[in-house]
Amino acid sequence: MFLLLLGFTFVIAENGEDEYDATIKLSEGWNLITSYAIKDALGFEDRNGVYSIEDSDYSRRQVEEQNIKAVFLYDSAYGEYVQAYPTKETDKLFRFTEDLIADEKRGNGRGDSYYRLTASSRWVYSNVEQTTEVHAFDGPGKINKLILLKGWNFMAISPDWEGKKFADIKGDCQIEEVYFWDAVNKEWDEISVVPYGRLGYGFIIKSVNDCSLSEGDDEIPQLP
């Protein structure tokens, strides 16, 4: 199976675990949605450890036929947007994968950077109101697997997130602000609880520190 997200293409095994399906309604204009949506095939494919660029006329037509005007991701490590479509900022996209590649080379397989990628959201500009079907797989948004970087982090709502209070899952994170993007009214809504019925929609978290989220204290208590 190919994982097409954030302007990248990663080959992964289909294991049937930690999956969800969702129907996302896109408003005309900017939408913040899971990186599994809008299969653009405009990115990188891992071929025996070598990342090559995929940017064919066919793949660009796929996006155009979905009435998509632009796609941007947010690189939390550098605190800036990176365009994936229609212009592709290749150098920044390669830079965005450095942590992922480093994890693989260290033999960590699906490490922190991998799960941060699968749990992320991105900006998609739709020319029309429409719906898109999403099949998210391979551990998208499992809270206990996620780390946040200092600054803004773009996340997507998975079943593991629904109904959770940020105060209960903050782990060692110093969470400063959390906002959900209301694409209909084109405004940010500050939230303290992840809403139900919004699978695949995006939200942003601002953290004071690099940290790990956690649903509970499962560490052995330290000795006095």
Structure confidence by residue, pLDDT tens digits, 12-57: 333 345 678 889 999 999 999 988 776 543 444 444 444 444 555 5
The answer to whether position 7 is within a domain reads yes
The answer to whether position 221 is within a domain reads no
Say what the pLDDT of residue 81 is: 94
Number of domains making up the chain: 1
pLDDT band at residue 3, thresholds of 50, 70 and 90?
very low
pLDDT over 90 (residue 208):
yes
In SS3 terms, 103-142 reads as HHHCCCCCCHHHHHHHCEEEEEEECCCEEEEEEECCCCCC
| Mean pLDDT, rounded, for 213-220 | 70
The answer to whether position 218 is within a domain reads no
Instruction: Give which of 159, 146, 160 is closest to 205, Cα–Cα.
Output: 146
pLDDT tens readout for residues 89-137: 878 877 776 766 665 565 544 556 666 777 889 999 999 999 988 887 7
The answer to whether position 93 is within a domain reads yes
10 Å CB burial of residue 153 (0-12, 13-18, 19+) is: buried
Q: What is the pTM of this model?
A: 0.79
Say what the pLDDT of residue 55 is: 53
pLDDT over 70 (residue 204):
yes
Q: List the structure tokens of 66.
A: 């979905």
Higher pLDDT pick, 63 / 35: 35
pLDDT tens readout for residues 178-198: 999 999 999 999 999 999 999
Say what the pLDDT of residue 219 is: 59
The answer to whether position 67 is within a domain reads yes
Higher pLDDT pick, 215 / 208: 208
Say what the pLDDT of residue 134 is: 84
pLDDT band at residue 5, thresholds of 50, 70 and 90?
very low
The answer to whether position 173 is within a domain reads yes
**Could you check whether the bond before residue 86 is cis, i.e. omega within 30 degrees of 0?**
yes
- Residue 128: give the domain boundaries: 2-212
Say what the pLDDT of residue 128 is: 94
The answer to whether position 223 is within a domain reads no
pLDDT over 80 (residue 138):
no
Q: What is the largest CA-CA distance in the chain?
A: 64
The answer to whether position 24 is within a domain reads yes
Contacts of 193 (CB under 8 A, 6+ apart): 163, 164, 165, 166
